[in-house]
């Protein structure tokens, strides 16, 4: 289930920046020059949705723009972070977002350039630009789309001589037959927030979202005009989900399924079908054969594909109007959207769909059954606002767990999808702290968050993933929306561990920064950040000493209370680390603990150094 990258000088701790080293200079200063002082090249700051995605693509873009210095930043797939930085005069020149949220993007529009008149914009099929247009202006352009679909194990279907389903009736029939052979017919990583959205929008696609009424509602939703769901379309989707439940396909016991368990079941032949996205290979080990299936309608001709861009690109209005760099920014944007760059994005995937007129991307044989739908342009694009994932999760749970009727189901969606939390003043920060890792692998902002987490949980030690400090901290007033930009809303877990166990945990976390789950493009965690202790390690990442805040060495047999973030706990779980069993989930998440600590002290603690290398 995993592969661990063991390179010479595995972590290059003191001289490099782990996964970020190759891809980002990570400057967050709003005083940054428009030119690289070492080469006098114009600097184009690109905010990507993570640290490590598409390294071959990034290399290609840099080669296509030799006269430009590209500075790769990380927005953690969080539009709120980009808005927050823009409001503090730290707007990147180009923004790449994967989780494209209509309400968040509208807030960002005032900082973005209209791309309508660019030559590259004319290369797109007009209907696939509509989701990224607002008030007649084209603020975003989509890279190729992944197909998020049901995939089926050809091995099991062939073994039991079951025909691949082609419509909803044959899908249900196949599930019944698979169950008669002791095979779980369908399961997915329902514990992940996006899966419920895929299920609801995917199965809603044939019945509603592909209709004229559906398209009109989606248009109003994307533009921010919709204040409620379409009752008829939503009820039609609910009817399909109820049918799946009644036939034992999506059941209450499946809603807590995690990706590791699902992948293991699929690999060992006890699970026949799951949800996967085509932007990664279905089986990197090539041990099994899978077939991608559409989201089924009543008939085969009603079925369609559910897609979303691997990321969307926007350009800063300020950069577009800056005569010293506008041509460089447009050069980079054109390179990013060129046919050749799309082909590079398509590498090491099952196959992506280009939204452009004259770009055909090859797909693997696993997509043969849905290839006609691709050729006929029978696919829709995922639509989201900042509440969609949580709203879909709540609505799906109501249908599956509580047998919600249409009225209740629609009420939940309307309440959760269109809620607008009040943006209230939290407190004022007198400090500034960047979220880039320094040469000792220390993130100043992560150290601030760790200190607050330790204090609020009354723990001796705290550990978070440095990526959960999602933006720099500025010396400024902080509102609730700002907190959501700088701290991930991760779960928090607590335990009591010995000093020896804590050393083992920290050493494991260092290893997890170069550990990738099968099919994933990012390491399990970026790098651990610590509160309450200082750790000394070698340049190769071996921990040699752990000291408490008073300078005393951690005692191997003594017990210490420890709080860790969701990313750290998930890493332990994914790697089946026995220490995971020691932890219990807390009643508050990381954002809530941070907010409570900020409010209580009316200030933030100063950053601290928690790693030292020798």
Strands of 184-294, DSSP E: 184-186, 271-277, 290-293
Q: Which residues have a Cβ under 8 Å from the Cβ of 299 and sit 6 or more positions away?
A: 167
Phi/psi of residue 265, nearest 5 degrees? -65, -40
pLDDT tops 70 at residue 8: no
pLDDT tops 70 at residue 39: no
d(CA 61, CA 328): 12
Superfamily (CATH) of domain 146-309+364-417: Periplasmic binding protein-like II (3.40.190.10)
Domain boundaries, the chain: 32-144+310-345, 146-309+364-417, 425-613
d(CA 361, CA 352): 7
pLDDT tops 50 at residue 312: yes
Pseudo-torsion of CA 202, 203, 207, 213, nearest 10°?
-40
Maximum C-alpha span of the chain: 70
pTM above 0.85, yes or no: no
Of 169, 117, 111, give the one whose Cα is nearest residue 141.
117
Q: Average pLDDT of 141-146?
A: 98
Q: Average pLDDT of 152-171?
A: 97
By the 10 Å C-beta count (0-12 exposed, 13-18 middle, 19+ buried), 422 is classed as: exposed
Q: How many Cα atoms sit within 13 Å of 39 on the Cβ side? A: 9
Q: Average pLDDT of 589-595?
A: 97
The whole-angstrom distance between residue 15's C-alpha and the CA centroid of its chain comes to: 28
Shared fold status for 146-309+364-417 and 425-613: no
Could you tell me if 514 and 116 are in contact, meaning their C-beta atoms sit under 8 angstroms apart?
A: no
**What is the predicted pLDDT for the residue at 504?**
98
Of 121, 40, 74, 68, give the one whose Cα is nearest residue 443.
74
Could you tell me if 454 and 461 are in contact, meaning their C-beta atoms sit under 8 angstroms apart?
A: yes
- Tens of pLDDT along 534-591? 999 999 999 999 999 889 999 999 999 999 999 999 999 999 999 999 999 999 999 9
**What is the predicted pLDDT for the residue at 38?**
58
Q: Average pLDDT of 126-143?
A: 95
Q: Average pLDDT of 284-292?
A: 92
Please determine, looking at this structure, whether the domain spanning 425-613 carries the CATH number 3.20.20.80: no
d(CA 528, CA 567): 9
pLDDT tops 50 at residue 34: yes
**What is the predicted pLDDT for the residue at 29?**
33
Q: Report helix, strand or coil for 530.
A: strand
**What is the predicted pLDDT for the residue at 517?**
78
**What is the predicted pLDDT for the residue at 51?**
73
Q: Average pLDDT of 345-363?
A: 96
- What is the pLDDT confidence band of residue 14, given thresholds at 50, 70 and 90? very low
Pseudo-torsion of CA 16, 515, 353, 278, nearest 10°?
180
Starting at the edge strand that comes first in sequence, how are the strands of the sheet with 533-537 ordered?
A: 543-548, 533-537, 611-613
Helices 231-246 and 193-204: crossing angle in degrees, nearest 10, is 110
Q: What is the mean pLDDT of the chain?
A: 91
- What is the pLDDT confidence band of residue 20, given thresholds at 50, 70 and 90? very low
**What is the predicted pLDDT for the residue at 611?**
96
pLDDT tops 70 at residue 367: yes
- Tens of pLDDT along 488-542? 999 999 999 999 999 999 999 999 999 887 656 678 999 999 999 999 999 999 9
Tokens of 614: 């020798």
Superfamily (CATH) of domain 32-144+310-345: Periplasmic binding protein-like II (3.40.190.10)
d(CA 87, CA 257): 39
Q: Average pLDDT of 381-391?
A: 95
Q: Report helix, strand or coil for 224.
A: coil
Q: Average pLDDT of 151-166?
A: 97
Q: What is the CA radius of gyration of the chain?
A: 24
What sign does the dihedral 469-473-478-481 (CA atoms) show?
negative
Q: Report helix, strand or coil for 557.
A: coil
- What is the pLDDT confidence band of residue 54, given thresholds at 50, 70 and 90? confident
- Tens of pLDDT along 441-459? 999 999 999 999 999 999 9
Could you tell me if 70 and 46 are in contact, meaning their C-beta atoms sit under 8 angstroms apart?
A: yes
């Amino acid at each position: 289930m995993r592969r661990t990258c063991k390179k010479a000088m595995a972590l290059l701790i003191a001289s490099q920046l782990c996964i970020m080293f190759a891809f980002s200079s990570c400057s967050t200063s709003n005083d940054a020059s428009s030119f690289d002082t070492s080469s006098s090249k114009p600097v184009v700051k690109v905010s990507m949705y993570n640290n490590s995605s598409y390294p071959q693509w990034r290399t290609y873009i840099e080669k296509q723009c030799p006269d430009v210095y590209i500075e790769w930043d990380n927005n953690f797939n969080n539009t709120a972070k980009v808005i927050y930085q823009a409001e503090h005069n730290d707007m990147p020149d180009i923004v790449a977002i994967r989780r494209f949220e209509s309400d968040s993007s509208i807030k960002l529009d005032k900082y973005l350039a209209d791309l309508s008149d660019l030559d590259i914009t004319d290369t797109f099929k007009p209907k696939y630009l509509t989701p990224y247009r607002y008030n007649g202006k084209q603020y975003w352009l989509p890279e190729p789309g992944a197909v998020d679909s049901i995939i089926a194990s050809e091995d099991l279907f062939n073994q039991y001589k079951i025909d691949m389903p082609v419509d909803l009736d044959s899908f249900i029939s196949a599930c019944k037959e698979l169950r008669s052979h002791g095979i779980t017919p369908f399961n997915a990583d329902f514990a992940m927030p996006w899966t419920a959205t895929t299920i609801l929008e995917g199965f809603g696609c044939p019945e509603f979202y592909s209709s004229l009424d559906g398209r009109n509602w989606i248009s109003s939703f994307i533009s921010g005009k919709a204040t409620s769901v379409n009752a008829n379309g939503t009820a039609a989707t609910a009817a399909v989900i109820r049918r799946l439940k009644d036939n034992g396909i999506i059941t209450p016991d499946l809603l807590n399924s995690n990706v590791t368990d699902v992948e293991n079941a699929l690999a060992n032949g006890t699970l026949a079908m799951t949800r996967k996205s085509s932007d990664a290979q279905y089986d990197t080990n090539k041990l099994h054969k899978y077939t991608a299936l559409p989201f089924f309608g009543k008939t085969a001709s009603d079925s369609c594909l559910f897609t979303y861009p691997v990321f969307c690109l926007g350009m800063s209005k300020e950069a577009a109007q800056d005569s010293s760099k506008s041509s460089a920014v447009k050069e980079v944007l054109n390179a990013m959207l060129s046919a050749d760059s799309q082909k590079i994005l398509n590498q090491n995937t099952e196959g992506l769909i280009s939204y452009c007129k004259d770009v055909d991307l090859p797909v693997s044989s696993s997509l043969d059954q849905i290839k006609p739908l691709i050729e006929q342009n029978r696919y829709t694009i995922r639509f989201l606002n900042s509440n969609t994932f949580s709203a879909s999760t709540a609505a799906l749970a109501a249908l599956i767990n509580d047998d919600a009727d249409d009225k209740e189901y629609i009420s939940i969606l309307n309440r959760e999808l269109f809620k607008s939390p009040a943006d209230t003043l939290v407190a004022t920060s007198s400090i500034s702290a960047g979220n880039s890792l320094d040469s000792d692998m220390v993130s100043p902002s992560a150290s601030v968050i760790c200190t607050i987490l330790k204090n609020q949980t009354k723990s001796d030690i705290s550990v978070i993933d440095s990526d959960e400090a999602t933006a720099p901290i500025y010396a400024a007033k902080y509102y609730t929306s700002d907190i959501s930009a700088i701290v991930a809303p991760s779960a928090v877990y607590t335990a009591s561990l010995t000093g020896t166990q804590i050393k083992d945990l920290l050493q494991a976390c260092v290893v997890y920064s170069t550990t990738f789950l099968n099919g994933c493009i990012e390491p399990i965690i970026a790098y651990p950040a610590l509160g309450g202790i200082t750790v000394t390690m070698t340049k190769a990442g071996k921990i040699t000493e752990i000291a408490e805040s008073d300078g005393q060495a951690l005692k191997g047999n003594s017990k210490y209370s420890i709080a860790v973030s969701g990313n750290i706990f998930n890493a332990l779980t994914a790697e089946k680390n026995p220490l995971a069993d020691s932890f219990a989930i807390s009643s508050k998440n990381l954002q809530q603990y941070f907010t409570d600590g900020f409010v209580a002290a009316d200030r933030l603690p100063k950053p601290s150094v928690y790693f030292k290398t020798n």
